[in-house]
Structure 1
């Protein structure tokens, strides 16, 4: 896809959906889950049986003569190792819990990816607004410079006023270059998240408004406990550690191997003619001897340490979620108040003050520097307003990830 001019308005949620289907990290997580799920299918299976073929008590002087000695026999046997009761179940439980933990991590990765796409979209919104405001203010500065030049031409102004305005205009041109570079950086990040060519153009983001959902801290905490995939993944890891503990303790008990052998004997040649050789069989049970107690105790301690590690990690995530919810709610309250204050008071008042200052300057009742300062002040308030609005929505996106879904 070739480079194009900035396209029409983007649908941010459609971009999120594209990222969830295209991003290779999600595909990697899904492939890992599929791998662990297949591994779990085989975890509790018995070992393959052993087949034995042999010759017993053959004569060294005539190794392939099976009709000379009554003890010579051809043997076929089969054996099967059977683990101690409960070992197969513990192995299966550990493997399935590990697979479940990986499956929940797919959903966690999707949450994080959706948050990153939304935050990038909101940053693009803020920088696009800054670019638009900068271009508008450059035009307004040109008008002020023209007004200062007119007053200077009739002897009512000074060259210093014109030069001050031109310096401010040059600063704003530099600011515009930085803003456009920031736009390119955010566009590159968004294209990376969507796994599409870097030359793909990103359109403008939807207009943001102040949305104030009803957010109760306790309800959000309960939602996080029930929906957050990371918590479910850690819970599955804890189940895996408990299954490994059971398996380590069961390893102190022996496994049994059942063997069956069938021994076939040929007819024997003797002076009185052929004598029928009686076939024979053998049935045996054998046990491994778990005498390496130190090794097995170390395995029990390892499993216990794993369980303690996951338990502490789960507690840490709980604390991080609760702290994150409190912080995001405080940020939302602050940003909401600021957005309303800027929208309803600061910006309208600054616009009125600027209009009055321009009128006063035109009739020689105000210095040009005051007009310039008020123009730049209004410009700063407008940029701050859109940045705070974007920050508000980024805090909402972060809160959505914290609780594991829609608010």
Structure 2
């Protein structure tokens, strides 16, 4: 009899023990398996499946890479994004758990001795098996599953918000690298202009038309430009390391930014407002929280109704050792039910009020975040417009006029009509304006990246305007008139300025 009872318990418990050890997800199975853990000391130092190796150099990312390729790779490899995706999967699994019945209960009683076994009219009971199942009141499981589904929606919105933040960081880092490379090219071009000016100064010094201090001052300016190039090289290495960190590759990977399309103008402000309120993931998280708290409040109200526990039993009867005369030994079968009595009204009211307060708090948080979102959209939009206008002003007006002033100063300096300090001052201004224009355009691109995150993605600029490369007319004073007196050094300097402008336009 004892053996039969033990066999029944083993059959009931064994499937559950085996299910607790299984892992359907391959990554979870890898973590549980302890793959790659060689020693007991290593097992204590780090979890299973976590590598402590240094990130490898990615040869496929050596050289120019496009912005979209960088964004997609960051989203694919970013550890936080992968973890958020697993959290979504975990939340989705919990929906099934929340809407399921509790496991049934199986009770087995055995009375091996006749003296202490229960006696009935049909004989002595030797074994009894009782199966019970709790059935919640109508709607309880549905409310629990709906609350769990709202948690899934919140987890998905949090994943979207994280992906937008990662994409923003990737775009900002890529633009930093891209414009740092452009700045290096511009500074190098301006340094060539300085070299041409140094050639003119040396020629004037050899003929006794200029003092040695002019040559020494130009050489000092060259050293200053070299220091600026070193600073830009350090900035490029820093931007490359930042981008490599987002890509989760070795900082030694020779990353460089590829070509970039024109940014375009921001969309209308009202459109950005509507898109931000409609699709910003952080707001979607708040809405999901409101729905979850509302479903939990519905579930708390249903606790006023009892749950039913259904029971069915079977008892093995025998006439051996029976105390009843005329016992027939027919097995006993029983059916019954039980209910909980929700008499603690104070606890039930507190549960409902807590859920309702949670829903109200989530609603207030939603309104607060919506106002902050509109504020952020307005601030980023105004900042982007200001940066765009400043960049265009420098590019289309200030830089061309400064270039004309430098050409005029070069002509005047060669014939002795312009002071040397005026030439140097004009050249410094041109270099400063070139770098400032690129920095302003870098900030504009980065501001657009932040604006795109706030409105929930999808692009925030209008279609790019047609390129005006090759259609530029010759501005007044840009070319030295044919036949005018000018030395070879002066012509070389002016042509270099024209080439610098053309290269800059092509980069745009």
Q: Please report the TM-score for the alignment, with normalisation by the length of structure 2.
A: 0.72
User: What is the match of residue 387 of structure 2?
Assistant: 335
SS of equivalent residue, structure 1 residue 131? helix
- Residue 280 (1) aligns with residue 335 (2): no
1:165-180 equivalences under 5 Å are 165-180=218-233
Distance 2:285 2:272 in 1: 19
Instruction: Give a deviation string over 1:242-272, Cα, whole Å, max 9, x none.
Output: 1112222323433221222223321256899
Does 2:181 correspond to 1:160? no
1:212 Cα deviation from its structure 2 partner: 2.4
Aligned-partner Cα distance in 2 for 1:356–1:324: 46
**Distance in 2 separating the partners of 1:98 and 1:155:** 84
Between 1 and 2, higher relative CO (CA 8 Å, sep ≥ 6) is seen in 1
Equivalent position to 1:83, from 136, 145, 152? 136
| Cα distance in 1 between the residues matched to 2:322 and 2:162 | 81
SS of equivalent residue, structure 1 residue 326: helix
Q: Which moved more, 1:138-147 or 1:40-49?
A: 138-147
Report how far residue 73 of structure 1 moved: 4.9
Partner of 2:159: 106
Asked if the contact 1:72/1:265 (under 8 Å) is kept, the reply is yes
Indicate the residue corresponding to 2:255 in structure 1.
202
| CA drift at 1:33 | 0.5
1:115 equivalent in structure 2: 168
Aligned residue number for residue 49 of structure 1? 104
Residues 144/3 of structure 1: CA separation in 2 closer, same or farther (3 Å cut): farther
CA distance in 2, matches of 1:375, 1:182: 24
Supply the distance in 1 between the matched residues of 2:232 and 2:128 (Cα, whole angstroms): 85
2:238 aligned partner: 185
How far is 1:376 from its partner?
A: 1.0
Q: Is 1:374–2:426 an aligned residue pair?
A: yes
Which stretch has the larger CA shift, 343-352 or 249-258? Answer: 249-258
d(CA) in 2 for partners of 1:146, 1:355: 15
Contact 2:62 2:253 in 1 (8 A): no
Q: Which runs of 5+ in 2 are unaligned?
A: 1-55, 461-508
Q: Residue 67 of structure 1 contacts residue 268 of structure 1 at CA under 8 Å; is this kept in 2? A: no
TM-score, normalised by the number of residues in structure 1: 0.88
Q: From 111, 114, 136, give the equivalent of 2:189.
A: 136
Counting only pairs closer than 5 Å after superposition, residues 4-403 of structure 1 correspond to structure 2 as 9-55=64-110, 59=114, 62-63=115-116, 70=123, 72-212=125-265, 215-268=267-320, 275-403=327-455
Deviates more, 1:63-72 or 1:216-225: 63-72
The two structures, once aligned, show a CA RMSD in angstroms of: 3.0
Contact 2:123/2:323, CA 8 A, preserved across alignment: no
SS of residue in 2 equivalent to 1:47: coil
Q: Which runs of 5+ in 1 are unaligned?
A: none
What is the total number of aligned residue pairs between the two structures?
Answer: 403
